[in-house]
Amino acid sequence: MKKKLCTLLSGVLALSLGATLFGCGEGPGGGDEPTVDESGNTIIKIMVHVAQQSPEGMAYNRITDEFNASQTAKDNKIRVRVNYNPRSTTGTGYETELGNMLNQGTLPDIVTFDAPNTWSYAEAGILADVSELISEETQNDFFEISKNTYEGGLFGLPIQESSAGIYYNKAIFRNAGLLGRVENMTADNAWTVAEFEDICNSLKGRCDLPVDLQLYKAADETATYLLYPFILAQGGTFLSEDGMTATGYLNSPFTVAAFQKIRNWVDSGYTSYDASDVGFYTGKYAMYLSSGWSIPEIRNKYREQLGDDWGILPYPKGGANQAASATGSWSFGMTTQCRATEQAALVLEWLVSTESSVSITDATGMIPARQSAITVKNYTPGSPEFLLYDQLNKTGKTRPGTIAYPEFSSAFRGIVNDMRNSGNVSSIVSTKTTELQGNLDRYQR
Partner 1 sequence: MVGISIAIIGAFLLLLGGFIVKDIVVAKRAANKYVHYTVRGTVTSYLMLLPALLLLCVFVFLPIVYSLGYAFTDYYLLRPGDMKFVGFDNFVQIFKNFSMHGNVYNATMNTLKFVVFVVPLQIGMALGLALLVNKPIRGMGVYKVFYFAPVVISLTVTSFLWVRILGGGDTGLLNSFLVQLGMDPVSFLYDPQGSMYWIIFISAWQGCGYQMLIFLSGLKGIDQTLYEAAELDGASKGRQFLAVTLPGIRSVLTFVIVTVFIGACKIMVQPMLMTGEQSFTITLNYLMYIEGYTYRWVGYSSAIALLMTIVIGAITFVQRYLLKEED
- Catalog residues that contact partner 1 under the rule CB under 8 A: 3, 6-7, 10-11, 13-14, 17-18, 21-22, 24-25, 90-92, 95-96, 99-100, 102-103, 120-121, 123-126, 216, 218-220, 272-277, 279, 404, 406-407, 410, 413-414, 417-418, 420-421, 431, 434-435, 438-439, 442, 445
Q: For the chain, how big is the Rg over CA atoms in Å?
A: 25
**CB of 421: closest distance to partner 1 in angstroms?**
5
**CB of 444: closest distance to partner 1 in angstroms?**
11
* Nearest-10 crossing angle of helices 253-267, 221-233: 110
151-182 exposure pattern, b = at least 16 Cβ within 10 A, e = fewer: eeebbbbbbbbbbbbbbbbbbbbeebebeeeb
Instruction: Count the neighbouring beta carbons within 10 Å of the beta carbon of residue 58.
Output: 16
**CB of 437: closest distance to partner 1 in angstroms?**
11
**CB of 124: closest distance to partner 1 in angstroms?**
3
Report the alpha-carbon distance of residue 171 to residue 179 in Å, rounded.
Answer: 8
Closest by Cα among 33, 96, 116, 15 to 343: 33
Report the alpha-carbon distance of residue 121 to residue 112 in Å, rounded.
Answer: 11
Nearer to partner 1, 359 or 417 (CB): 417
Beta strands in 3-130 (DSSP E): 42-48, 78-84, 110-114
Sign of CA dihedral 104, 109, 114, 117: positive
**CB of 82: closest distance to partner 1 in angstroms?**
24
* DSSP H or E segment with residue 291: strand 285-291
Nearer to partner 1, 392 or 404 (CB): 404
**CB of 92: closest distance to partner 1 in angstroms?**
5
What own/partner pairs with CB < 8 Å and gap ≥ 24 does 120-123 have?
120/402, 120/403, 120/404, 120/405, 120/406, 121/155, 121/333, 122/150, 122/151, 122/153, 122/155, 123/150, 123/403
Nearer to partner 1, 124 or 244 (CB): 124
Nearer to partner 1, 209 or 369 (CB): 209
Report the alpha-carbon distance of residue 237 to residue 252 in Å, rounded.
Answer: 7
Helix (H, G, I), strand (E, B) or coil at 305: helix
Helix (H, G, I), strand (E, B) or coil at 242: coil
Nearer to partner 1, 275 or 347 (CB): 275
**CB of 108: closest distance to partner 1 in angstroms?**
16
Half-sphere exposure of 420 (CA within 13 A, CB side): 16
**CB of 37: closest distance to partner 1 in angstroms?**
28
Helix (H, G, I), strand (E, B) or coil at 404: coil
**CB of 285: closest distance to partner 1 in angstroms?**
11
Nearer to partner 1, 29 or 414 (CB): 414
Nearer to partner 1, 186 or 439 (CB): 439
Nearer to partner 1, 273 or 302 (CB): 273
Nearer to partner 1, 215 or 298 (CB): 215
